[in-house]
Amino acid sequence: MPTEQSTTKRKVSGVTSLVMLGSLLAVLVAVVLLLQTGGTNLSGITGLRDPGPLTTYGVTVVRLLAEVSAVVVIGSLLLAAFLVPPQRSGVLAADGYGAVRTAGVAAWLWVVFALASSFFSAAESAGRPVQQVLDPEVFVVLVEALSVPRAWLITACVALIVAVGCHLTLTWGWTATLFGFSLLGLVPLALTGHSATGGDHDVATNSLLYHFVAAALWVGGLIALVALGRRGSTNLPLAARRFSRLALVCWIVMAASGVVNGLVRVTPAELFGTTYGLLLLAKIVALGVLGVFGQQQRVRGVRVLQETGTRRPLLQLAGVEILVMCLTFGIAAALGRTPSPDEAAVPGRVELLVGYDLSGPPTVWRLLFDWRFDLVFGTAAIVLAVLYLAGVRRLHQRGDHWPVGRTVAWLAGCATLLIATSSGIGRYSPAMFSVHMGGHMLLSMVAPVLLVLGGATTLALRALPPAGKSAPPGPREWLLAAVNSPVARFLTQPIVAMLQFVGVFYLLYFSGLFDVALEYHWAHLAMNAHFLLAGYLFFWPLIGVDPAPRRLMPLGRLGIMFLSMPFHAFFGVILMSSQTVIGEQFYAQLRLPWVTDLLTDQRLGGGIAWGFGEIPALIVLVALMVQWAQADEREAQRAERRARRAGDTDEELAAYNAMLARMAGKTNDAQ
């Protein structure tokens, strides 16, 4: 009779075989397509010599294996953190522990294949056989000069940290942290390569970032779900139900971002007339068929599982879906190695550096109405507004009240985020320091103030249903855990929050980081994200209506606000009086005809920073005063209620004593 342990091992090995078969299928599809289309021969485009068949085909193979390892890591951590419940103490249960250990093994494979991809991509970019790049001195030189090998090296470092962390963590909180950190390993690859260069590279890289994350969550989560079912876990119905909702969102995001990324490179007429267009069309069709078929079948599988407890239909359909996904991965790998039609075109100077051309000088009309939608922050602004309104609607449907002022503040904050990144301000921001500083002020000092006054966390805690004592934790419990986490407590500490908020001005612009960041689109995304998050973390404990890990007294809030204000003014004064142009090399390359003096434009940006900071400071002071007055009023009302209760008690006591006295008098008279 086979033991339970041997049966579990056979089931796990079956999942491993499925993943290996899918990886082999992806590699074969990619190689066959490349052989048919000639996409591996890039020497004619790059002007470099052919590095040889080992390097040419090895690049595709090791990259696919690295991607498969990455999605297994991300999917396993997703399962452990959000699809199966931990123990009541916060320690991982058996299912979560097994998924984390699977992620640990896959993470070491991710490290190996990411390092191999770094060597192979360096060899291909240099037009050398990979054997020559194994020399450490040659490799270091190539990594310093080329972005793709450097991106793979960063990915390998992220994978190494995840691999070590998976072998150390036992709690839910650190598992969720590792899951978020593992997603960072996808970012360097999405923001480098041919999508990050040439015209429209901002749209191409932003869409590719969405594409990578959605694909990793979808494919990795499905693999982890199959492994959970093969282990015979009782948590399979819960995990399948939760993953089914996530899978639908991932399919929509993956399909839309893939279409946007492809259409940046080809016109609709080139879809049928070029090799790149045909491969793109094949990928679109595969994603469409996969999404419709997979989602419908998974819903049926989940229904059968819930009604009858039979898991075989769900696992069989999921296994087939994994193989089809790997087939799509192979098409995507061949597509990434095939030159697009627009690579033959030579973009203009401004388009090459910024990603698009500028219509003319930044007039008021152009700053307000010359829009270029930002796929990252513009989409985030719209999604945040829609989710907030959905929460308010849920409260109103059950008869609860939500202040209109908070709704107005949140929507205004979302609108500010949208305007700062997608209007003419966002369009001209990468090319002009003065416009960049205006966008910086909107993102760090206006949008966060409005967002924290919206009280989104409080709204979510009221709108989301609690899980209950016997039910596994859900989104409401996850949100509470995040608010009360050690990371949140550290980041909202007054000194730490003020250093993030104020110190970034001096560190970024006066240390040379801004000069380097101007050349990379990913650096612009990172700067905007830091401006917004640092401002939110600073204003959250000061004027936020949401529960914060650290609550400050009103006087302490005023003190922190007054302490930070001179640093903003001093920063603006330094910019206005400086004789050194920040980012001079990049701005000089643009040679914008309406920016004849870079120093004058920089001083204008300093004036914006100096004058703009006073308006949000005034809003914060007014909000603090109002909240202080409201707190005093509430305290006075509580004191009045206590006094009234005390007065009522005294009257009752006096009446009781009088009654006792009368009874005593009657007794004496009778005697």
Residue ranges of alpha helices (H) inside 484-597 are: 486-491, 494-510, 513-517, 521-543, 554-577, 584-590
Query: Per-residue confidence at 470, pLDDT binned at 50, 70, 90?
Result: low
Do residues 167 and 105 make contact, with C-beta atoms less than 8 angstroms apart?
no
Please give the distance of CA 555 from its chain centroid, rounded to a whole number. 35
Distance CA 248, CA 295 (A): 7
Residue predicted with more confidence, 346 or 430: 430
Structure-token pair, residue 639: 């004191």
Average pLDDT over residues 616-639: 66
The whole-model pTM stands at 0.82
SS3 sequence of 62-99: HHHHHHHHHHHHHHHHHHHHHHCCCCCCCECCHHHHHH
Distance CA 523, CA 201 (A): 13
Average pLDDT over residues 535-551: 81
pLDDT of res. 133: 80
If you average pLDDT over each of 92-106, 309-323, 465-479, 495-509, which comes out highest? 92-106
Do residues 583 and 514 make contact, with C-beta atoms less than 8 angstroms apart?
yes
**C-alpha distances in angstroms, 306 versus 11, 318, 346, 473?**
22, 16, 57, 20
Average pLDDT over residues 288-312: 61
Torsion of the alpha carbons at 659, 660, 662 and 666, rounded to the nearest 10: 140
Distance CA 501, CA 522 (A): 21
Collapse the DSSP code of 553 into the 3-class scheme (helix H, G, I; strand E, B; otherwise coil) and give the result: coil
pLDDT in tens, 337-356: 666 665 555 567 777 788 78
Average pLDDT over residues 293-306: 59
**C-alpha distances in angstroms, 265 versus 64, 245, 280, 281?**
22, 31, 10, 13
pLDDT above 60: residue 670: no
Amino acid present at 40: T
pLDDT of res. 45: 42
Percent of the chain exceeding pLDDT 70 equals 73
The phi-psi region of residue 624 (left if phi > 0; otherwise alpha if psi is between -120 and 50; otherwise beta) is alpha
Collapse the DSSP code of 309 into the 3-class scheme (helix H, G, I; strand E, B; otherwise coil) and give the result: coil
Mean model confidence pLDDT for the chain: 78
Query: Per-residue confidence at 5, pLDDT binned at 50, 70, 90?
Result: very low
Which H or E run includes 236? Answer: helix 236-265
Average pLDDT over residues 538-546: 82
pLDDT in tens, 71-117: 899 999 999 999 888 887 788 888 889 899 999 999 999 999 999 98
| Residue 485: burial class (beta carbons within 10 Å; 0-12, 13-18, 19+) | middle
pLDDT of res. 163: 94
pLDDT above 60: residue 585: yes
**C-alpha distances in angstroms, 487 versus 478, 480, 557?**
14, 13, 21
pLDDT in tens, 219-273: 888 888 878 877 777 888 888 888 888 888 888 888 788 777 777 777 666 667 6
The phi-psi region of residue 64 (left if phi > 0; otherwise alpha if psi is between -120 and 50; otherwise beta) is alpha
Q: Which of 165-169, 303-307, 456-460, 612-616 shows the lowest mean pLDDT across its residues?
A: 303-307
Amino acid present at 462: R
pLDDT of res. 8: 41
Do residues 605 and 441 make contact, with C-beta atoms less than 8 angstroms apart?
no
pLDDT above 70: residue 522: yes
Q: Which of 2-6, 417-421, 490-494, 560-564 shows the lowest mean pLDDT across its residues?
A: 2-6
Structure-token pair, residue 444: 């760090």
pLDDT of res. 3: 43
pLDDT above 90: residue 646: no
Could you tell me how many residues make up the chain?
Answer: 671
Structure-token pair, residue 560: 């922190």
pLDDT in tens, 394-410: 999 988 889 998 999 99
171 bridge partner residues: 91
Distance CA 504, CA 221 (A): 37
Q: Return the closest-CA partner of residue 220 out of 360, 351, 324, 74.
A: 74
Do residues 67 and 325 make contact, with C-beta atoms less than 8 angstroms apart?
no
Distance CA 649, CA 594 (A): 79
301 bridge partner residues: none
pLDDT in tens, 161-180: 999 999 998 888 889 999 99
Average pLDDT over residues 632-643: 59
Which H or E run includes 377? Answer: helix 377-397
Residue predicted with more confidence, 339 or 463: 463
pLDDT of res. 251: 82
pLDDT of res. 32: 56
The DSSP line for 115-128 is: HHHHHHHHHHHHT-
pLDDT of res. 394: 92
pLDDT of res. 159: 93
Collapse the DSSP code of 171 into the 3-class scheme (helix H, G, I; strand E, B; otherwise coil) and give the result: strand
Q: Which of 183-197, 272-286, 437-451, 626-640 shows the lowest mean pLDDT across its residues?
A: 626-640
pLDDT of res. 652: 60
pLDDT of res. 335: 67
pLDDT above 80: residue 663: no
